[in-house]
Structure 1
């Protein structure tokens, strides 16, 4: 069985120490508190700075937690609160739509499925919680690209891969950005056989008390059930948007 990696344990110890220091800590304080040589502590701090987990004040020289690690913590809290608040509404949406329901959040330029309700029939289905879905080929992902500033900036920087899954998948950045504009204007997103042949999905954004899009909720099903002549069934879109509004209110969002 592989052993533990000492450098990672030391990095974690520094992060925990900085989390408890409201005003930041100097190199000497970190070194002394963790009984680490200054050179070792400095090397770890510089690495953590490079990945954005630690920041150093240019005037005082003290170290504190960086924006990247704080963002990770916020995502964790958002995902857990989101799932807890959405349970009843996701069940209700599955019942109204007759389709499976997924709730997703942004995770490393992908959609992390944090909750999944099976389609309410006797068909064989597999649980998708914990699955990662592509941003550009899913309705959930398009919502995040349109309304999540982190996803939008990653797309603008060209750091998101755009592989093709079907002949309908958007694989160029310009088309994807145009799609995001349309999603923002409409307030909802859909995919038509862009991830899986024969499947359609609709999604809408979930907002928190800060006015931040913390996730998306959507339904997925067969083309013949969710479309009329390749056009989305607007009654199903309305069910999704209603559920998104209800969950947003649970999270403290101002009604709109």
Structure 2
């Protein structure tokens, strides 16, 4: 059996780290996290930078994903039926809610963001297409885990990290959360993943009525969750968007 090429494995590890962590990381952080000598990590980063897959901030010296990687990713996403069907509906949801909208699918042990519509204001925002979100704490992840058996197995068989004091990690309570999600058809994340951030998500189904992803509205907790309750219009808007995309995929009315 042919062996894997170690240098490619290491390069892939660097790209995954930059995609899943903070927006920019220093050489020492990258080397320590992956378990490489700084010289080795620097050589990999230098090669990736030359190919346009990684960029280095001139001021801080930190690294982030490059435009070439985004271009290659978009060539895949453009033919992804789910994303193509959701473009108009997610744009409408962002406009009506005034918040950011994310489209996510199950990928490995988390949720891959395949589409991101910016909040429709003049604030500076970071495109998060290609970012990974946890299954157990985000609204996208909880919806997918509630309806997709593969995701459910993945999330219950692995340790659930407590990102904040609100993160549900205890098995029984987590299963109750998934049961509630199935009963009402949507999930929420109120500062369970990031302090000050709230989200609400609903599942998307295909023509076989199989769960293929989820759509979510995300924003500041004081806007989405005023007075201790989610805005009813947001929940309705997310569910309507998910239903519309599902119908476009052939799921029919539900």
TM-score (norm 1): 0.68
| Counterpart in the other structure of 2:232 | 234
1:167-186 equivalences in 2 (<5 Å): 167-186=165-184
| Counterpart in the other structure of 1:103 | 103
SS for the counterpart of 1:201 is: strand
| Counterpart in the other structure of 1:219 | 217
Q: Which structure has the greater CA radius of gyration? A: 1
Whole-Å separation in 2 of the counterparts to 1:246 and 1:120: 21
| Counterpart in the other structure of 1:144 | 144
SS for the counterpart of 1:124 is: coil
Whole-Å separation in 2 of the counterparts to 1:121 and 1:191: 23
CA distances 1:184-232 after superposition (whole Å, capped 9, x unpaired): 0010000110111111100000000011010000000111111131111
| CA drift at 1:154 | 2.3
SS for the counterpart of 1:197 is: coil
| Counterpart in the other structure of 2:45 | none
Maintained 8 Å contact 2:163/2:193: yes
From 242, 247, 250, the equivalent of 1:249 is: 247
1:134 and 2:134 equivalent?
Answer: yes
1:1-256 equivalences in 2 (<5 Å): 6-7=2-3, 80-156=80-156, 158=157, 160-256=158-254
Whole-Å separation in 1 of the counterparts to 2:186 and 2:214: 10
Whole-Å separation in 1 of the counterparts to 2:94 and 2:179: 28
Q: Aligned residue pairs: how many?
A: 183
Maintained 8 Å contact 1:104/1:140: yes
Q: CA RMSD in A?
A: 1.9
Maintained 8 Å contact 2:135/2:155: no
TM-score (norm 2): 0.69
Maintained 8 Å contact 1:103/1:114: yes
Structure 2 spans left out of the alignment, 5+ residues: 6-75
Maintained 8 Å contact 1:155/1:173: no
SS for the counterpart of 2:127 is: coil
Whole-Å separation in 2 of the counterparts to 1:223 and 1:230: 9
Whole-Å separation in 2 of the counterparts to 1:108 and 1:172: 22
Maintained 8 Å contact 1:138/1:191: yes
Whole-Å separation in 2 of the counterparts to 1:137 and 1:235: 22
| CA drift at 1:8 | 5.3
